[in-house]
Amino acid sequence: RSGGCLNGGSSIPSLTTGEHMLCLCPDGFEGTHCEQAKAGQCYEGVGLYYAGTTSTSGSGHTCLEWDVDTRERFMTSDVNGGRHNYCRNLFYRRRPWCYVWKNQQVVWEYCEIPRCVQVLRKSSLLSFNLKFTTCGLRIRPKQMKIVGGTKATIESHPWFAAIFWRSKSREMVFRCGGSLISSCWVLTAAHSRRFYITLGKQVLNESEPTSEQTFRVKKIIIHERFNNSEGNFNNDIALVQLKPRQGRCAEESQSVKVVCLPPPGHMVQPGVTCEITGFGKEKHGLWYKSQYLREAQVNLLAQDVCGQKDYYGNLITENMFCAARPDWSQDACEGDSGGPLVCEIQDRLFQFGVISWGDGCAKEFRPGVYAKVSNYNAWIEEKTGLSFTGRGSPPL
């Protein structure tokens, strides 16, 4: 009877049938179900693009006008060059905020602004005919909590590929990560070039024959335009072809599955929380890598934020994006390169990024940098001979 009206909206019935006809929305909201705050009245993600006129903190204090230094460094493109006291999200905090005068001192407080609610709709991601493949589906729920993360089960990340090389002493040495995109192909970073791939691995110094599948490498294809002359690993992406065993490559199991790839040019919004996985160092400066597969959550940053001079400036190209935690507590680190950054879209995991580079680990204003996978769909199809159109990722 309510017609699904949200945010205090009222259902207006049809005069002929008495059934719900439309929603009468309260001030500040619009949409079929009053699900969306009017432009400027809500924020998306963590509010990096919020440009509304709310100027009161959550405790009811009036915001102070932004100071000259802050305006010149961060708000030159804002309304009136930032000469106002409207709430904004500078310094990549959790949501829009402002400075207020409280208890005889200047402090900052979050503003009471609603988050924009988006109606779930069949996006271009899900227009892929996914019913013919199990890509991006995991058996066990993620355990959530690499740097600042927690141990992960391989069943939560069954597409993760551990890349090894054999030393002169015949020892298998872990080099970097990757992700399984089809039964015979692994996606990784261009600066990760070695010889053995193990799928289904959860502990580096232990082998589990019942869940692991190990392959030699048949071919490595590094992107032709991979370039580190500027120190930014542009086009940092590569493909590794597995050498079949008895005519077969990877076989699907609870611990081995393919990840979904997004459509060309598709990218999730800044502020969205995604996951990274790897065996990399748990802290910058350690001499050893993690023995256990670890996972962490990071939020995507807007391109213009990561390109600011206080971040990475012009080192960030259109082939990259950045991600970090608002408190800089979790991040990829040395040894995580080549591993996947995946985002959940209606119960499936899509790989939007390949872990590439960064200045230190979990360092303020130095987020992790990732190769943007959706820029390389055509290149992946050309090199592998696989067709991802209509399926997200080929099944095993």
Backbone angles phi, psi at 205, to 5 degrees: -90, 15
What is the spatial distance between Cα 89 and Cα 63, in angstroms, rounded to a whole number? 13
Of the residues 20, 61, 84, 191, only one is catalytic, namely 191
Q: Report the DSSP pairing between strands 320-324 and 294-300.
A: antiparallel
Cα Rg of the chain (Å, integer): 24
Q: Check if 67 is active-site.
A: no
What is the spatial distance between Cα 286 and Cα 25, in angstroms, rounded to a whole number? 56
Question: What SS3 class is residue 17?
Answer: coil
Q: Check if 387 is active-site.
A: no
Q: Check if 304 is active-site.
A: no
The two three-digit tokens of residue 346, written as one number: 């209606």
What is the spatial distance between Cα 71 and Cα 238, in angstroms, rounded to a whole number? 41
The two three-digit tokens of residue 133, written as one number: 């493949």
Backbone angles phi, psi at 315, to 5 degrees: -70, -20
Taking the CB of residue 67, how many other CB atoms lie within 10 A of it? 11
Taking alpha carbons only, the member of 247, 131, 236 closest to residue 187 is: 236
Q: How many CA atoms lie less than 13 Å away from 90 in the CB half-sphere?
A: 21
Of the residues 156, 183, 255, 337, only one is catalytic, namely 337
Taking alpha carbons only, the member of 115, 111, 108 closest to residue 46 is: 115
C-beta of residue 202 within 8 angstroms of C-beta of residue 292: yes
Of the residues 33, 179, 236, 290, only one is catalytic, namely 236
Taking alpha carbons only, the member of 68, 37, 67 closest to residue 53 is: 37
What is the spatial distance between Cα 60 and Cα 105, in angstroms, rounded to a whole number? 16
- DSSP 8-state class, residue 40: T
DSSP 294-336: EEEEEEEPPHHHHTSTTTTGGG--TTEEEEE-TTS--B--TT-
**Angle value at C-alpha 115, between 112 and 119, nearest 5 degrees:** 155
C-beta of residue 385 within 8 angstroms of C-beta of residue 377: no
Residues carrying an active site annotation: 191, 236, 337
